Structure 1
Amino acid sequence: MAGIGFELKKLFRATGVLSMLKAYGYTGMITAGPMLLGVVFLLSINYIGKVAGLIEADRDLLVCMITYCLIASMILNSIFSMVMTRYVADLLYDGKESDVLPSLEGILGIMMPAGGVLWIVFLCFSGLDFLLSVLNFILFMELTAAWTQMNYLTAVKDYKGILLSYIYAIIFAVLTAFFGCAFLGVSIYILMLSVSVGYGVMIVYDMILLYGYFPNSMENHYSFLPWFDEYSDLMLIGFFTNVGLFSHLVIAWMSDVGVKVKGLYYGAPQHDVAALFAFITILITTINFVASVEVNFYPKYRKYYDLFNGTGSIMEIEQAENEMLTVLEHELIYTARRQFYATALILSVGLVVLERLPLGFDSLMEGFFRILSVGYGAYAVGNVLMLILMYFTDYKDARSSAIIFGTLSTVLSLMSLQLDPKYYGFAFTLSSIVYLIFTLKKLMNYTQKLPYHILSSQPIVAEKRYGLGSRLYEFISRNSKTA
C-alpha cells in the first residue's frame, strides 16, 4: 500500500502500548475505514429509527438500501482499485507526486459517470419513489468516491486527520438523524439523508487532507489509462475476489430465508446479520497483515530485489533470499495463527455476547455465524497468500486463484439453494478453503524457484501492451492538444 510503510515503521519503533495502538489503529483506518463506517451507520441509524418509532418495513428497506450501495460500489471500485494503487505507487517511486491528484480527478471522472448511469438504470426499476431514489443515488456516488480515496490516503501520513474524518462523519450522521427525527418526525428519508451526510463529511475532509498533502500539476489527468492494459490481471483479481466475497450474500437473498422488502430490494435478515458479524472477524488478519508486511517483510523483500541490480554477489543474494523467505514464513504462520485464535474466540465468547444483544439470534443464525466465521477466516488467510503472490508480481497465479474463488463461491452458493437453509453458509466456506489451499500451493511453488522467476521467466525485450486504455489515452491527449 503506497506510502503507509514509513509511518508504520516509525510508530512500531516507538515503545509503549499507546504507540502500538496508534500503529494498528492507523492500519485499520486505512484498510477498513469506509466498511467499518458503513457497519456503524447500519447499526446506529437503524437503532435511532427503531427508538424513534420507524416502522419495521421502513427499517428493513433502509438496511437494504445501504447494503446495496455498499456492495455495488465496492464491486465497481474493485475493477479499478488495484490498478490505481499500482499507478500511485509508481508515481511515488518515480518522484512524480504532482501527478497524484490529477489521477484521482481523472479516475473519478471515469468511475462516477459510468457507475452513476448504471445505478440510475437500476433505480428506475427498483420500486423506490423519486426522493428515495435521489438519496440512494447520492449515497452510491459518495461510496464510489470514498473507496477511491482509500487508494490515495495510504500515502498521507496524517493518521490523526483520517481518524477525525471518521469521527466527524459519525457525529454529523447521528446528529442529523437525531435532530431530523426530533423536529421533522421520524422517516426513512431523514435517516437515509443522515447516512449521506456522514459519508459526505468524510469525503470532504479526506479531500482536504489529500489536496493539502500533494502538489497538483493540473495535468496528466488520464495518464493512468495505459496501466489498465499493462496490468489488466489486476482488474480481474480485484473483481473476482469481491464477487467471491459478496455473491453468496446476494444469492441468499433469493433463497428460502430471503424476503422481498420492496421492488428489487431483497434481504435475508437471519443470514445477513450473521454474515456481517462473521465478516468483522477478518479485520484482525487484514490489519495484522498490512502492519507485519510493511514493517517486517518489505525491508527484506526490498533488500533482496535491490541485490539483483548488480550490487550483490551470489552469496549475498542467497543469504538475502533465505532471510526474506524466513521472515515471510514467520509472518504468514503468525497471521494464520492469530486468525485461528480470533475465530475460536469469536465462536466461543463472541456468540454468547451476540445472543445477549437485541439482534434476535436464533439457532439458524447461530449456525450461519459459526460456519461463516470459519469461511471468512479461511478467506482472510487465503487472501493474504494471494497478496503475497502479487508482491512477487506473480499476477498469473494470483489471477487464477481469484477467478477460482469467485467462480466457486458463486456456483456452489447457487447449488446450495437446493439444500436445507441451514447448509447455505457451507458453499462460501468450502470455496474459501479451496482458495486458501490453492494460493498456498502456488506461493510455495513460486518461492521454491524464485531466482528463476526473477531472471529467466521475464521476457528478454520489454513488451508494452497496447489496448483500449492506451488508445483512449491517445485519443484524449490528441483532443486536449487541439482544443
Structure 2
Amino acid sequence: MAGIGFKLQKYFYKDDLVENAKGTLYSVLISSGPWLISVLTIAFISLYAQMNIQVTDLFILKSMICYSYAASLIIFGAIEMPITRYIADQLYKNDNSTFKSLYFMLVIASCLLGTSLCAGFYAFFPELSFTIKVTATMFFCSVLIIWISMMFLTAAKNYHQVVLSFIIGALVSVLACFYVGKDYGLTGYVIGYCFGQYIIALCLSICVFKEFKGLDYLSFEFLKYFKKCRPLIFAGLFYYLGIWIDKIIFWGGPEGEQVMSLFYTNRYYDTAMFFSYITIVPSLAIFLVQVETNFYKYYSFYFHSIEEKNNLNILNENIEDIGFSIQRTLMNLIKIQLGITLLVWFFAEEIMDALYLPSMVVSIFKYGVIGAFLQALFLICNIILLYFLNERKVVFHYFLFFLLNLVLTYVSTKMNFRYHGMGYLISSFIVLMLSLKALGKHVNQLNFFTFMSQPVER
C-alpha cells in the first residue's frame, strides 16, 4: 500500500526547495492529517470558547471529542488490517470492482454500530440536551467514516483532495464554532465542531467514489479475510488499546476529574501526551515517503526473483539489499527524530511555560516525548514485519505493549506525579527492543521464513 509514498517521492528527486517543501507538507498532512488537524482545530476552538462558555462546558466538549476518537479508533482497529489486506490483494490483481460496494457496506455497518453504541452511552447523560446527543452520535459515525475512507484512500494517488478535505473540514469547524458557539453556548460549539467533521467525511467519501468508479457487483469475499487473517484483527485492536489505555487509567486515577457522568479527564496527563505525540510527526512523514518506498523497492526485487526462479546467490544478495535499506532508512529516521526529540526534551520546561502549563506537566511531557519516539520506531518495525506476513509476532508485540502499558501505568498512578508517564516510556522501550530483534531475525532468515511458510501440496 505504498502508492501515496511513491507519488510523493517525485517532490524529493528534484533539487528544488519549493518542491521539497511541498512534498514535506503533503507527507505531514497525509501521514498525520486526521490527528494533527483535529488537535489544532480543537486548540483554536478551545481558546475562543474560553471567552464564551463555562470551563465545565469546555471540558464536556473536549471529552466528547476525545472519547469519540478513542472509541472509534479501537473499533476501527479490529477491521482495519484485514480490510486493508483485502484491498491490497485486489489492487495487486488489478480488480477494484468490489470496492465501492464494500465501502457502502462498511459505512452502513459503522453507522448502525455507532448509533447503537452512542444511544447506550449517552443514556447515562440526562443533563445533556437531545440536540447535543444526536449531534454527538452523528459525529461519532462521521469519525468512523473518516477512518474507513482513509483506509481506501491509502491506495489512491489523488492526495491533493485528501489534504483539501481535512483543511476544508477544519476551517468549517472553526468558523461554525465562532459564529454559532457565541450565541448557543455548548450546543453551538458541539454543532459547529461536528459539522466540520461531517464535511470531512463527505469530502473523503466523494474522493473514494471518484477513485473507484465501478460498482460491478456486491461481494462478501472480504469476510473470508477475517478468518484468513485473524491475527490482524487482534493486531489492530491491541495497538489502539495500547495507545489509549494509559490515558484511560489516568482519567480514573487519583488526579483524574469527573467532568460529567461517564466523562472523565486528566488535564495534565492528556495535555502533556498530546504535545508529545506532535513531536513524532517528522517520523511518520519520513516513513511514508522514504522508509516504506525504499524498503518496498528491494522487497519487490526479492519476491520477483523468486517468481523468476533465480538462484540462491541472487536471493541472498536481495536479502542483503533489504537489510541494508531497512538499516539505512531507520538510521536516517533516527538521526532526524532523535535530534528533534532531544531538542524538545532539553527545552521542555520553556515549552510548557510558553503554553502556560503548570510545572508538574514537565516531567510527564519529557517521558512522553521519549516514549512517543520509541513508539514510532516500534510501529515502523512491526509494519515492516507485516510486509513479511509475520502477523503472530506483531500481535504479540502489540498485545505486550497494551499489557505493559496497562500494568506499568497503573503502578505509576500510585507513585509520585514525577513518575507519571514512565509506564508508557518503559512499555515502548521494551516492545521496541523485541521488535528490532524480531525484525533482524526475520530478515536474516528470510529464505527460511518465505519457503517454509508455504503450504505443502499433497
The residue aligned with 2:78 is 79
The residue aligned with 1:22 is 22
Deviations 1:70-126 (A, max 9, x none): 111111111111111111111111111222222111222223312331222111124
Q: CA deviation at 1:218?
A: 4.5
Amino acid at match of 1:455: F
| C-alpha distance 239-461 of structure 1, shift in aligned 2 (>3 A) | farther
Amino acid at match of 1:438: L
Select 2:235's aligned residue among 237, 249, 263: 237
Q: CA deviation at 1:37?
A: 2.4
Amino acid at match of 2:386: M
| C-alpha distance 126-411 of structure 1, shift in aligned 2 (>3 A) | farther
The residue aligned with 2:94 is 95
Whole-angstrom CA distance in 1 between matches of 2:184 and 2:455: 64
Q: Secondary structure at the match of 2:255?
A: coil
The residue aligned with 2:323 is 325
| C-alpha distance 28-461 of structure 1, shift in aligned 2 (>3 A) | farther
Deviations 1:257-315 (A, max 9, x none): 11111111010111111111011112221121121133311111101111011342222
Q: How does 1:13-92 map to 2 (within 5 A)?
A: 13-51=13-51, 53-92=52-91
Q: CA deviation at 1:38?
A: 1.8
Q: Secondary structure at the match of 2:389?
A: coil
The residue aligned with 1:209 is 207
2:410 is aligned with 1:414: yes
Whole-angstrom CA distance in 1 between matches of 2:87 and 2:14: 28
Q: Secondary structure at the match of 1:78?
A: helix
Q: CA deviation at 1:348?
A: 2.6
The residue aligned with 2:366 is 370
Q: Tell me if structure 2 keeps the 8 A contact 1:247–1:410.
A: yes
Whole-angstrom CA distance in 2 between matches of 1:277 and 1:413: 19
Q: Secondary structure at the match of 1:97?
A: coil
More displaced stretch, 204-213 vs 6-15: 6-15
2:145 is aligned with 1:149: no
Q: CA deviation at 1:35?
A: 1.1
Amino acid at match of 1:55: Q
Deviations 1:200-247 (A, max 9, x none): 111111122221121222523432111111111111111111111111
Q: Tell me if structure 2 keeps the 8 A contact 1:4–1:155.
A: yes
Deviations 1:344-379 (A, max 9, x none): 12123464233113xx31121111101111111111
Q: Which runs of 5+ in 2 are unaligned?
A: none
Q: CA RMSD in A?
A: 1.8
Amino acid at match of 1:62: L
Q: Tell me if structure 2 keeps the 8 A contact 1:100–1:214.
A: yes
Q: Tell me if structure 1 keeps the 8 A contact 2:5–2:290.
A: no
Deviations 1:387-426 (A, max 9, x none): 1111111111111111111111112222222222332211
Q: How does 1:214-229 map to 2 (within 5 A)?
A: 214-229=212-227
The residue aligned with 2:248 is 250
Amino acid at match of 1:450: L
The residue aligned with 1:195 is 193
Q: How does 1:162-201 map to 2 (within 5 A)?
A: 162-182=162-182, 185-201=183-199
| C-alpha distance 140-221 of structure 1, shift in aligned 2 (>3 A) | farther
Q: Secondary structure at the match of 2:435?
A: helix
Q: CA deviation at 1:64?
A: 0.9
Whole-angstrom CA distance in 2 between matches of 1:221 and 1:140: 27
TM-score, normalised relative to structure 1? 0.91
Q: Tell me if structure 2 keeps the 8 A contact 1:285–1:380.
A: yes
2:158 is aligned with 1:158: yes
| C-alpha distance 145-2 of structure 1, shift in aligned 2 (>3 A) | farther
Q: How does 1:471-482 map to 2 (within 5 A)?
A: none
Amino acid at match of 2:176: T
More displaced stretch, 236-245 vs 161-170: 161-170
Whole-angstrom CA distance in 2 between matches of 1:288 and 1:221: 36
| C-alpha distance 457-154 of structure 1, shift in aligned 2 (>3 A) | closer
Q: Secondary structure at the match of 1:266?
A: strand
Q: How does 1:364-443 map to 2 (within 5 A)?
A: 364-443=360-439
2:446 is aligned with 1:447: no
| C-alpha distance 2-290 of structure 1, shift in aligned 2 (>3 A) | closer
Amino acid at match of 2:424: F
Aligned pairs, number: 457
The residue aligned with 2:106 is 107
Deviations 1:122-153 (A, max 9, x none): 11124533222112111111111111111111
Whole-angstrom CA distance in 1 between matches of 2:136 and 2:103: 24
Q: Secondary structure at the match of 2:50?
A: helix
Q: Secondary structure at the match of 2:258?
A: strand
Q: Secondary structure at the match of 1:256?
A: coil
Q: Which runs of 5+ in 1 are unaligned?
A: 463-483
Whole-angstrom CA distance in 2 between matches of 1:112 and 1:218: 24
Q: Tell me if structure 1 keeps the 8 A contact 2:352–2:358.
A: no
Whole-angstrom CA distance in 2 between matches of 1:79 and 1:461: 32
Select 1:298's aligned residue among 287, 296, 299: 296
Q: CA deviation at 1:168?
A: 1.1
| C-alpha distance 303-351 of structure 1, shift in aligned 2 (>3 A) | farther
Whole-angstrom CA distance in 1 between matches of 2:158 and 2:194: 24
Q: Tell me if structure 2 keeps the 8 A contact 1:126–1:265.
A: no
